[in-house]
Amino acid sequence: MKFSFELIKKDSSARLGRATTPHGSFTTPVFMPVGTKGSVKGITPHELKEMGVEIILSNTYHLYLRPGHKLVKELGGLHGFMNWQGPILTDSGGFQVFSLCKLRKITEEGVQFSSHLDGTRYALTPESAIEIQEALGADIIMPLDECTPYPAGREYTVESMNLTHRWARRCKDAKTANGQALFGIVQGGMYEDLRKESARALVDMDFDGYSIGGLSVGEEKGLMKDMVAATVAHLPQDKPRYLMGVGTPEDLVYAVEMGVDMFDCVMPTRNARNGTLFTRFGKLVIKNAQYEKDPQPIDGECGCYTCRNFSRAYLRHLFMAGEMLAPRLNTIHNLYYYTSLMRQMRQAIGDGTFDEFKKQFHGQRQEAALLGD
């Protein structure tokens, strides 16, 4: 089965859609939990399915270094290896090379880098990035790109963008697995005209979908929003749009309003491990002393396993005691919250009430801020 995407309905620019892959379908807008090394930290595939997760993300760089893409292929591909039978998206590993590897050299051919694990030298080319992802067997794969750093001058940004375009063409030419979808990655730094140029160049190459890369790398929120809007305006209506590595619940609501379909971010899982929980009223920091004797759940209207069974006082105790259960229960809640948020947005788009949803979403946060909650 080949990848396909159907745009079901629009509410202004917000979009309701359905993507079909060799391992099932998922509805958009969608949030993909990050399973960097073939595992969403502390959460089983069964628990992910129970909370309504339809697609997850894994990382090419980490799986390439350990345990190796050839071993994963021998053991049934990533789906069989981690026992997740739903859709999987893998990124190319480019971002990790540029963010984790201090010793790296970028050339026209690709990038040479030292492993963050043991210093071993490796080379990653557009062709090898595709080869690795085809061995992993993901349903949606990404081309190798250079994630333009922030800040970056215009001259460097132009060179980086054009290199990403040349690598994208090589990745498309190298792809052999017909069942996998390949998304192009739009770069262009913080320059609206370059974002437009990059989007148009990639659309001309005719990818299965389009990713917006190079954002949430240190720029202010207003600038990120400007770049999202500047990019989406030049992407086709009949292909999915994926905003990479973003973000907060507020970011997701804004980007869906602009017409973005897919998201991933470590924020819900990483924050959970650090004791920060997401609710409809904003963030709740469970280690705060005010929750020591609090018998309430994290959120009284949340239907997750954690909120149905445990109090804030108990969760604070677990976190302060360093119990292994603390990050698990926190992660279950945060991922459920993100999944529920996307489900609510899909429902609102389907009902034609996205504007009302957005006003309620922001209103609850403003009310909680005024009350000091």
Contact 260, 16 (CB under 8 A): no
- Copy the structure tokens of residue 185: 């990655």
Three-state SS string over 306-320 comes to: HHHHCCHHHHHHHHH
In eight-state DSSP terms, residue 353 is -
> Pick from 9, 14, 266, 262: which is nearest to 140 by CA?
262
Answer for the pair 152, 163: CB distance below 8 angstroms, yes or no. Answer: no
Q: 3-state DSSP helix/strand/coil percent for the chain, to nearest 5?
A: 45, 20, 35
What gap in Å lies between CA 221 and CA 35, rounded to an integer? 26
- Helix (H) or strand (E) holding 11, with range, is strand 4-11
3-class state of residue 2 by DSSP:
coil
d(CA 31, CA 131) in angstroms, rounded, equals 26
Q: How far out from the chain centre does Cα 360 lie? A: 25
CA distance 252 to 13: 14
Cis peptide bond prior to 151, omega within 30° of 0:
yes
- Tell me the angle at which helices 354-371 and 325-351 cross, rounded to the nearest 10 degrees: 140
DSSP label at residue 30: E
Residues labelled catalytic: 91, 264
Angle between helices 221-232 and 249-258 (to 10 degrees): 30
